[in-house]
Structure 1
Amino acid sequence: MERDGVERLLAEAGPDSRRLRHALTLLCDAQWWTLADLVRETATSRRTIETLLRELPLERKGDAFRIPLTHTNDYQDLLALAPPPEDPVAHLLPHYASELTRLKDLVARAPRARHVLDHVSATPETILRRALLLGARFWLPGTRLLCVGDHDLTSLAVKLIHPETDVTVVDIDERILAYIDAQRLGVRTRWADLRLGLPASARDHDLALTDPPYTPEGTGLFVARAAEALTDNGRILLAYGASERTPMLAFKVQQALADLNLAYEAIYPDFNRYFGAEAIGSAADMYILRPTTKTRPAVTSRLSRQTTTIYTQGPQSVESAHNALTAPQEAIQDFDPDLLVGEWPKDLTQPRVRLSTWLSKPYAATLDRVAVALPLGLEAALPRILLATRASHVRVVGSDLPPLPDVLSTVYKLSAGGDVLDAVRLPQPPGDAASVLRRILDNGHAKLANTWREALIAVARTQGSALTKNEARTLIAEAAPWSEGLTPLDAPLHRLSALPEAVTTTISALTTTT
């Protein structure tokens, strides 16, 4: 029997050899395994599994393999006799077979992962177990849950299992927000680039759940935003994983959590499983964190020194050499702006504000010309940057600027050339529907439904009719039930694009109402 290599690996791993022994047990159980499935089942890094496989006599069938039945007895004394750590909600899974079937379909049809956002999809079983863990650990009826990023669609699992829970999602990916809304399960969606801020409507939640980029910078930011969103007695559920080969990376991430002065209430090992992420064993632990009285000051301090480079890949990766934020002075030589937004050369004398400040609150002074430096990787914020001001002329400087939604043509005449976009404000449009829409978009920081309500009342008055606030609210709720609590700046683009038709519907209904 040739098993010296296996025994050597087990000896080198010491107490952590249970991972290898678990993999060995599975390979000796007559089942066929692919590499990805074995990595995910054992929550062990691909590199470690590959090291074990090189020492074993394997038979193969396509991409699958196993230890031949004639050799399994050779390894019986090396196997792990006990299962991995107990799953706290495994006993509940058989009761939710139909929900799991639906979640499998939802995950299969979801938008593809975007590597520049460090997307890795959790398995349907994982998002179901997250929903079950929430229900087993907390009282959910009436509870407000915020999903801080939700490429995994945990929000949909929670609404399927606990429909009485109030669930909101904040995400930078417009595709995910549109997909979640299309399921009509009652999840509220908000656009946010967490590097630039958290929408006001995403605050005052009881629970927050996040599966962030697995860098210290990314995890620290997402958890800080989660803490910012919580009430005083809230909890944060964090999915985070690292390879058993890289304890120093896990330490750095936990240091970022420690800097936020959070208490650890529980850690469930390998609770989350993924399609991909084989470098970390396609698995991540589930942390339950509780803010302390020292958390809010720590969060404020952490966010005050926020960097935009938080991912492992793409132009905003931590190691990227292409993330310089300073815009070239030549781009505004003929522009003479009143205000600079973002990072510009220090020798420019105009007043300046951060991008995050620009998006978080209206700028107090009256502005004619504004120059905005938009870093590579933050292009999704472009429509909101334009909606954040009433300036006559906005010049945006950045690379790979994306096309803008048609709804912005109500506000601006747009012209682009090279790395520069000029947006010149249009005069007020004629017509009741166009004027109401323009009034909404001119108040980017205000609650959309409130501006809409006052605009409808004003239109009714010009028609010689009286429209009460409650009547206006009813018209808006019927035409756009998703509008409550939204501002134009945190509305997903598919909601902004639906505004013209919805506004027209309310204008048409005025005659009947009044």
Structure 2
Amino acid sequence: MERDGVERLLGAAGVDSRRLRHALTLLCDGRWWSLADLVRETATSRRTVEELLRELRTEREGDRFRLPPAHWPDFQDLLALAPPPEDPVQHLVAHYEPALERLRELVAKAPRPRHALDHVPATPETVLRRALLLGARFWLPGARLLCVGDHDLTSVAVKLVHPETDVTVVDVDDRILAYIDEQRLGIHTRWADLRLGLPASARDHDLAVTDPPYTPEGVGLFVARALEGLTENGRVLLAYGASERTPALALKVQNALSALNVAFEAIYPDFNRYFGAEAIGSAADLYILRPTTKTAPAVRSRLSQLTTAIYTHGPQSVESGPAPAPGHAEPRPTPASMAESATRLSSAGEADLLVGEWPATLPQPRVKLATWLGKPYAASVERVAIAVPPGLEAALPRLLLATRAPHVEVHLAGPYDIPSALDPVYSFTESGAMLTATRRPRPEAPQAQILRRILDSGHAKLANTWREALIAVAATHDVTLTKNEARALIREAAPWAGDLTPLDAPLHRLTTLPSAIGTTLRSLPADGDSGVSNPHGGNSGP
């Protein structure tokens, strides 16, 4: 009898059987349910729901199923007569239907998830409820919110519901940053690979939200960076979930959080729901974490032990282990791979400086990738060799903009599509997985001069370099331009510039930078009444 099998499952689950009873209740409500919807609605792992379904004789309609009405009376005494407790802001959702409709559209059109970055999109209702919870628990007018990664578009939800909040997003995925900027909601976007650092412009926030990779390494890193971006009295809202079948994994993650010396102010079970992640019930809890006086040193300690393997999939998954440095032999090397390793070593041997992980046998001075991006290298060097491990390719444009060396060789795991934003600075040649970048001569045209000056100053604030270059160009045309006047022209042409550096700038900002520079040149005060004569020099390229 199918009831016997259901009772065995419920008995084995004990007090946690409410999940299964909730699923059984839904199957007896007359509606047709897909497996994915049933998993998400009950926040129960796919494996557990499948076990329940195997004990039931359901009827099917395509990929959906339900219990036949004639069987409902057999299970009435086993049902959960009340659903699980609602989250603290569910009652507010009905008052924000226009915002929810907008979010449904935006989530549907968002860039496709990247498996290697552990992207699993949250539902529109989830990101709306995150925004509502922030407003219900904290005072948001004038507050500064940092989204540490934002494939879910929580930043957009917050600006739709609380437009007076100052919101900044840091993300490694340039597609996400461009998509958020397309919405024109006044959100500040910053590129960052959190394994390599947090931009200076992403500090001193009141609140932070993050939905990181669900490994102890990923959660520990993202929360540490979120704490690094907070003021002393800030809070971190963390989405993290594990299957009800794997409490040991949840313990590992919570131990990683405890090591940061944060207080757990609240945990809202199953607050977040997802399109996918069925192994954990398409759901995750929402933690509210508060730093203590012991948090800052714990964060520094955590960040001093960085590992690049933080994901559950792809080349930087925890299971993959560290990538070998260029020149190190792979297991069972082929003659072709041995020859390529020899070529890389020979090429790197001609460099004055090595950036990244290289064999200890090479004698040159070396710099870590994070240090290279974090501050300018003090000495002038002619040739630089950079090793970019698989999974960190998004950092390549920034690694190249971090130096003024005339020759840079980049050693990659495979072919790479070079973004056009680098064309004003470098010409490129490719040989297999090695990319050689040669610095172009300084341009003559005013617009190209300003662009090149900005891109040559990767660690400096973009707007400051732009201001000084604009003043210099104006002076060559006998036009006096004050710093305040130059700042005003830049704010008008590029309100996004602010305290951004070229290394923090999303690629789409660097791509449109020449046009914005041209706007400031055309807006220069005139030596007569009609503006500076031919400020572009007829050429906007290098």
> Normalising by structure 2, what TM-score?
0.93
Distance of 1:192 and 1:334 partners within structure 2 = 29
Q: Which amino acid aligns with 1:280?
A: I
Q: Which amino acid aligns with 1:239?
A: A
Distance of 1:329 and 1:344 partners within structure 2 = 13
Aligned to 1:117: 117
Asked if 1:36 corresponds to 2:36, the answer is yes
Alpha-carbon deviations, 1:362-389, whole Å to 9, x = none? 0111111111111011000110000001
Asked if 1:171 corresponds to 2:171, the answer is yes
SS in 2 for 1:310: coil
Q: Which amino acid aligns with 1:487?
A: T
Distance of 1:289 and 1:205 partners within structure 2 = 14
SS in 2 for 1:136: helix
Aligned to 2:414: 400
Alpha-carbon deviations, 1:173-207, whole Å to 9, x = none? 11111000000011110011111111111111110
Distance of 1:326 and 1:409 partners within structure 2 = 26
Matches within 5 A, 1:52-451: 52-320=52-320, 323-327=323-327, 328=341, 330-334=343-347, 336-451=350-465
Q: CA deviation at 1:399?
A: 1.6
Q: Are the counterparts in 2 of residues 58 and 67 from structure 1 also a CA contact under 8 Å?
A: yes
2:471 to 425, 449, 457: 457
Q: CA deviation at 1:229?
A: 0.5
Aligned to 1:498: 512
Distance of 1:495 and 1:407 partners within structure 2 = 9
Q: Are the counterparts in 1 of residues 168 and 190 from structure 2 also a CA contact under 8 Å?
A: yes
Distance of 1:45 and 1:322 partners within structure 2 = 31
SS in 2 for 1:308: coil
Q: Are the counterparts in 1 of residues 19 and 42 from structure 2 also a CA contact under 8 Å?
A: yes
Q: CA deviation at 1:329?
A: 6.1
Q: CA deviation at 1:118?
A: 0.3
More off after superposition, 328-337 vs 89-98? 328-337
Q: Are the counterparts in 1 of residues 454 and 465 from structure 2 also a CA contact under 8 Å?
A: yes
2:523 to 501, 509, 512: 509
Q: Which amino acid aligns with 1:450?
A: N
Distance of 1:249 and 1:502 partners within structure 2 = 49
SS in 2 for 1:119: coil
SS in 2 for 1:111: coil
SS in 2 for 1:333: helix
Q: CA deviation at 1:332?
A: 4.5
Gaps of 5+ in 1: none
More off after superposition, 122-131 vs 478-487? 478-487
Q: CA deviation at 1:323?
A: 2.6
Q: Which amino acid aligns with 2:514?
A: P
Q: CA deviation at 1:80?
A: 1.1
Q: Are the counterparts in 1 of residues 213 and 310 from structure 2 also a CA contact under 8 Å?
A: yes
Distance of 1:38 and 1:329 partners within structure 2 = 55
Aligned to 2:500: 486
Q: Are the counterparts in 2 of residues 415 and 422 from structure 1 also a CA contact under 8 Å?
A: yes
Q: Are the counterparts in 2 of residues 329 and 345 from structure 1 also a CA contact under 8 Å?
A: no
Q: CA RMSD in A?
A: 1.2
Q: Are the counterparts in 2 of residues 46 and 279 from structure 1 also a CA contact under 8 Å?
A: yes
Q: CA deviation at 1:265?
A: 0.1
**Using a 3 Å threshold, how does the CA distance of structure 1 residues 170 and 258 change in structure 2: closer, same or farther?**
same
Q: CA deviation at 1:85?
A: 2.5
For this pair of structures, how many residues does the alignment match?
A: 514
Q: CA deviation at 1:116?
A: 0.6
Distance of 2:238 and 2:385 partners within structure 1 = 38
Asked if 1:24 corresponds to 2:24, the answer is yes
Q: CA deviation at 1:325?
A: 3.8
Q: CA deviation at 1:500?
A: 1.0
Q: Are the counterparts in 1 of residues 111 and 179 from structure 2 also a CA contact under 8 Å?
A: yes
Distance of 2:6 and 2:390 partners within structure 1 = 48
SS in 2 for 1:252: helix
Aligned to 2:488: 474
Q: Are the counterparts in 2 of residues 85 and 269 from structure 1 also a CA contact under 8 Å?
A: no
Q: CA deviation at 1:405?
A: 2.0
Q: Percent identity?
A: 72
> Normalising by structure 1, what TM-score?
0.98
Q: Are the counterparts in 1 of residues 27 and 67 from structure 2 also a CA contact under 8 Å?
A: yes
Q: CA deviation at 1:31?
A: 1.3
More off after superposition, 459-468 vs 400-409? 400-409
More off after superposition, 7-16 vs 401-410? 401-410
More off after superposition, 315-324 vs 65-74? 315-324
Distance of 1:48 and 1:39 partners within structure 2 = 9
SS in 2 for 1:290: strand
Q: Are the counterparts in 1 of residues 326 and 411 from structure 2 also a CA contact under 8 Å?
A: no
SS in 2 for 1:491: coil
Q: Are the counterparts in 1 of residues 146 and 169 from structure 2 also a CA contact under 8 Å?
A: yes
Alpha-carbon deviations, 1:99-152, whole Å to 9, x = none? 111110111111111111000000000000000000001000010000000000
**Using a 3 Å threshold, how does the CA distance of structure 1 residues 255 and 322 change in structure 2: closer, same or farther?**
closer
Alpha-carbon deviations, 1:303-345, whole Å to 9, x = none? 1110101111111111116732455464142452111100000
Q: CA deviation at 1:2?
A: 3.7
SS in 1 for 2:515: helix
Matches within 5 A, 1:5-16: 5-16=5-16
Alpha-carbon deviations, 1:221-274, whole Å to 9, x = none? 100100110000000000000000111111111111111111000000000000
Q: CA deviation at 1:504?
A: 1.6
Q: CA deviation at 1:49?
A: 0.1
Distance of 2:88 and 2:61 partners within structure 1 = 35
